[in-house]
Structure 1
Amino acid sequence: MGAPDGDCLGPYRLLSPLGAGGFGEVHLALDPEGHTVAVKILHPHVAADEVALTRLAREVEAMRRVQGPYVAELIEASLQSERPYLATRYVQGRPLSAVVSGDGPVGGEVLVRLARGLAEALAAVHAAGVIHRDLKPGNVILTDGEPVLIDFGIACLLDSATVTTSGAVLGTPGYLAPEILEGGETGPEADVFSLAATLAFAATGRHPYGTGPASAIGYRVVHHEPDLDGVPPWLEPLLRECLVPDPAARPPAAALPARLAAVAPVGRVAGSEGSATVPSSASSAGSAGSAAPVGPGVFASPPPPPAPPRPRPPFSSWRGGRPREDRESRRSREDRESGVHGLTTREWRPGRRGRSRLDASLPESAREHRRAVIHRRWVIGTGLLVALAAAAAKSPLPEVSLLLLTVYGAVMIIDGGVALFARQNRPRLVVDLAGAGGSVALWAVLGAFFSPLTLGLALGTVVFVLVVILLSS
């Protein structure tokens, strides 16, 4: 179906598609004041189904009852138009699943902010009488290090009957609570289980119940203990309590923010790489609060209060009873955010400054892992290119062939030596030496089995593809 870019839907001008799900297609759009929103357009075959419209009406009502700084709130909905849609706050950033897959596990200050933000988001969801039912890393967006919970597409009201449709996805394996897998009642305790599984994935980089077929993962959820190896000591006991099979034994979502505030590290984060600090009003107060004795010679500082909520994004008008913001204060905030007067749309793209701010808040271990991955890919890519070029020049220009191999080998040896003696980085030295040796071996194999003409054509094709990639990026 797909609405074309520049098309208007109600008061919104569609800019570009963001994704699609079982019920509709999500577009980045501009509201009448020029602010970005996310517009979800119902699929035509779903819009023609009265049962699906009833389900959407329940979804809209649920989303209107959920508000908070860590959830993507509903702005407006239109169910009677030719193309039914709903508009929510647009969240710029990357999904938690992509952050962990690309940069490794999160830790230190980032993990503390993630845990506190998701706990407050789930508390707000349950306070509104809603069950999210699909809390997972893909439905958590990190924006400037702060989490935002999105996609209430399968949320249902606590005080309404469960609505089911054929083909509807009811959850994600590994993050569904065991009582759901066993066919029991779905309550808010299931979201607490999903929250703990999501935090375990963020802290370790692994799914807490492994991977594989959905049936195998479901069996491990019901019968096995979660894999929490690598979760920081301050967080592991709470996650184990939230992942118990008995729903009644799990803590309620309303208690999670206070529980995390009591156990989350303040100042230098224990077990993290570097010296990440946790922003808190208690840290600026110094020693104003008195310490409570907990044993002979041992004192425990009072838990810090929860972090203040982030201000809401500058919408010109909030439907459903939300106040209109002052124009001058909104304009000054936009100027601070964008640095250009009048620029209101800043869609996130890979490689822009939004990603660098997030990477800067990652632990040093995650950044070092990312640098190692980039270096390994660079060595492999350049080694393949040099071996191919040297093999192509082996017969007509043997001097050039040997020169290429010699220069590449010298560069690899120098880089490995610098890494070894300057930073004591032995793995990098191994990668460099393996790259140099592998390029020589590949040069010998290619030169023995392929003609110079074939190798030249292959080299030209590779260079052409690289140039196209560089120009397109």
Structure 2
Amino acid sequence: MGAPDGERLGPYRLLSTLGTGGFGEVHLALDPEGHTVAVKILHPQVAADATALARLAREVETMRRVEGPHVAEVLDASLEGARPYLVTRYVQGRPLSAVVAGDGPVEGDDLVRLARGLAEALVAVHAAGVVHRDLKPANVILTDGEPVVIDFGIACALDSVSVTVSGVILGTPGYLAPEVIEGTGSGAETDLFSFGATLAYAATGRHPFGTGPASAVGYRVVHQAPDLEGVPGWLEPVLQECLRREPAVRPVAGELLDRLGAAGPAVRAAIPRPRSSPVATRVHESVGGREPAEVQDVALHEAGGSAGAVQELTTREWRRGRRPVSGRLSAEEFRERRRVVLHRRWVIGTGLLVSLMAATAREPLPEVSLLLLTVYGLVTLIDAAIALFARRNRPRMIVDLGSAAGAIALWAALGAFFSTLTLALALGTVVSVLVAILIAS
């Protein structure tokens, strides 16, 4: 069924094969506007099932309403003809299964980001009335440390007897909920079980229900407890609740957001520090619907290493709009901080140069000296006025006014203590250095 590179499928031009899954072959492709997308061409046995395709066609419009940074949105679909296909947002990254297999378990703040991102993805999927039903490490793509869930809704939509008989296994043993294995139905609770199993694998590097034949793994899912040894202490209670056998007692995705801090406060795991004292918890809880405490310190313990040493993890909550205590900046925060630094360097550096030039021209060309100071002062005052109206930029206004006052003070000091010749030599040296820097850069 493999499609050659460069072939056109509808309005899409296939570029290369990304991989093959249980339901189809995925290709990197270009849409008519030249944007990269992922095109999944359904396997022949799936395409031959009219009932499954009809169900998928009904689900596509619902799936297209799922939006969020942690889901690969369905953009288009063509379910008629010899080769039906789905088009989703292309996510460049590595599957969680490959990351864990190659780099080992996910730890620390990366594990927190993974848990939060998966919870946010499930909230978006379930809010649209879609059930993923095949959440597993291979269906989670990590891009810049953030997870993106792919293939949501496809397993549920293609759940039909003829498709299963044709060879497609609906779901992965060890990540399917007990109710799916026993054939008693599936709902949003099913995804919560898969969420717990996927995070357990990410945190430990082991499949929580072991390996082996699908029947053996399925038996362990239904009748045995998951292997959570090595899961951090802050995460283990959450996974135990998600991996409960009874669907009704599992938490919903929105509750996970509250627990993991993605719906307002964000839980950030600090670097573990060896400690042997008892568990200490200091929690300021919200009461009567009020906002939670701005900062919440919780000392948590986890068993560390083969020696079983007790360690303490400190987590903090932060309110929306405040930077996480981990110190990581978003791209927008980084750009804003960079702009502030560049502005400060430019204003101060220009002020120093203008002061030196004005002081040099003070005796032979007093009009030029005053003109330089006047122009610099006007520019900084205008910039300060703009910052004053933009209330969040008051530090910028202080830099502008301070630089203008400093330039005048420096001009007066240089003119009073140094001769015109000395200032001219200094100015020539500064200009030569600046020109050399520009040429070198």
CA contact (8 A) 1:5 1:14 kept: yes
Tell me, yes or no, if structure 1 residue 178 matches structure 2 residue 190. Answer: no
Tell me, yes or no, if structure 1 residue 117 matches structure 2 residue 138. Answer: no
Q: Count how many residue pairs are aligned between Structure 1 and Structure 2.
A: 289
TM-score (norm. length: structure 2): 0.59
Match of 2:224, as an amino acid? H
Partner of 1:214: 214
| Pairs within 5 Å for 1:59-138 | 59-81=59-81, 83-138=83-138
Which residues of structure 2 form unaligned runs of 5+?
Answer: 275-291, 299-313, 325-329, 332-441
Partner of 2:141: 141
- Distance in 2 (CA, whole Å) between partners of 1:129 and 1:153 is 10
Aligned-residue offset at 1:162: 5.8
- Distance in 2 (CA, whole Å) between partners of 1:118 and 1:300 is 19
Aligned-residue offset at 1:56: 3.0
Cα separation, partners in 2 of 1:23 and 1:176, compared to 1, 3 Å = closer
- Distance in 2 (CA, whole Å) between partners of 1:5 and 1:259 is 46
Match of 1:229, as an amino acid? E
Higher RCO (C-alpha under 8 Å, 6+ residues apart): 1
CA contact (8 A) 1:105 1:204 kept: yes
Q: Secondary structure at the match of 1:70?
A: coil
Partner of 1:333: none
Partner of 2:246: 246
Aligned-residue offset at 1:269: 3.9
Partner of 2:413: none
Match of 2:205, as an amino acid? G
1:317-360 alpha-carbon deviations (Å, 9 max, x no partner): xxxxxxxxxxxxxxxxxxxxxxxxxxxxxxxxxxxxxxxxxxxx
- Distance in 1 (CA, whole Å) between partners of 2:112 and 2:217 is 28
- Distance in 1 (CA, whole Å) between partners of 2:297 and 2:67 is 39
Cα separation, partners in 2 of 1:179 and 1:33, compared to 1, 3 Å = same
Tell me, yes or no, if structure 1 residue 3 matches structure 2 residue 8. Answer: no
Partner of 2:382: none
Q: Secondary structure at the match of 1:228?
A: coil
1:68-87 alpha-carbon deviations (Å, 9 max, x no partner): 11011011112335533221
Q: Secondary structure at the match of 1:88?
A: strand
Cα separation, partners in 2 of 1:175 and 1:44, compared to 1, 3 Å = closer
- Distance in 2 (CA, whole Å) between partners of 1:271 and 1:225 is 30
CA contact (8 A) 1:95 1:140 kept: yes
Cα separation, partners in 2 of 1:76 and 1:300, compared to 1, 3 Å = closer
Choose 10-19 or 38-47, whichever is displaced more.
Answer: 38-47
Match of 2:70, as an amino acid? Y
Q: Secondary structure at the match of 2:141?
A: strand
Tell me, yes or no, if structure 1 residue 223 matches structure 2 residue 223. Answer: yes
Partner of 2:37: 37
Match of 2:20, as an amino acid? A
CA contact (8 A) 1:59 1:155 kept: no
Aligned-residue offset at 1:173: 0.9
CA contact (8 A) 1:14 1:29 kept: yes
Q: Secondary structure at the match of 1:67?
A: coil
1:50-77 alpha-carbon deviations (Å, 9 max, x no partner): 2242133144234213221101101111
Match of 2:252, as an amino acid? P
Q: Secondary structure at the match of 1:19?
A: strand
Cα separation, partners in 2 of 1:291 and 1:260, compared to 1, 3 Å = closer
CA contact (8 A) 1:112 1:264 kept: no
Q: Secondary structure at the match of 1:156?
A: helix
2:268 aligned to which of 255, 266, 274:
266
Cα separation, partners in 2 of 1:87 and 1:291, compared to 1, 3 Å = closer
1:118-175 alpha-carbon deviations (Å, 9 max, x no partner): 0000111111111111111011000110100011363437xxx964432332211111
Choose 210-219 or 162-171, whichever is displaced more.
Answer: 162-171
Match of 1:123, as an amino acid? V
CA contact (8 A) 1:141 1:149 kept: yes
Aligned-residue offset at 1:88: 0.7
Q: CA RMSD in A?
A: 3.2
Cα separation, partners in 2 of 1:198 and 1:36, compared to 1, 3 Å = same
Partner of 2:156: 156
Aligned-residue offset at 1:3: 1.7
Aligned-residue offset at 1:45: 5.2
Cα separation, partners in 2 of 1:50 and 1:271, compared to 1, 3 Å = farther
- Distance in 1 (CA, whole Å) between partners of 2:23 and 2:124 is 24
Larger Rg: 2
- Distance in 1 (CA, whole Å) between partners of 2:126 and 2:155 is 11
Q: Secondary structure at the match of 1:210?
A: coil
Tell me, yes or no, if structure 1 residue 19 matches structure 2 residue 34. Answer: no
Choose 96-105 or 16-25, whichever is displaced more.
Answer: 16-25
Cα separation, partners in 2 of 1:268 and 1:24, compared to 1, 3 Å = closer
Cα separation, partners in 2 of 1:17 and 1:175, compared to 1, 3 Å = same
- Distance in 1 (CA, whole Å) between partners of 2:78 and 2:58 is 13
CA contact (8 A) 1:62 1:155 kept: no
Q: Secondary structure at the match of 2:18?
A: strand
CA contact (8 A) 1:62 1:156 kept: no
CA contact (8 A) 2:196 2:242 kept: yes
1:23-42 alpha-carbon deviations (Å, 9 max, x no partner): 43211101222221111123
Partner of 1:190: 190
| Pairs within 5 Å for 1:432-451 | none
Aligned-residue offset at 1:293: 10
- Distance in 2 (CA, whole Å) between partners of 1:199 and 1:89 is 24
CA contact (8 A) 1:209 1:226 kept: yes
Q: Secondary structure at the match of 2:135?
A: coil
Match of 1:138, as an amino acid? A
1:347-385 alpha-carbon deviations (Å, 9 max, x no partner): xxxxxxxxxxxxxxxxxxxxxxxxxxxxxxxxxxxxxxx
Aligned-residue offset at 1:238: 0.8
Cα separation, partners in 2 of 1:234 and 1:81, compared to 1, 3 Å = same
- Distance in 2 (CA, whole Å) between partners of 1:123 and 1:151 is 15
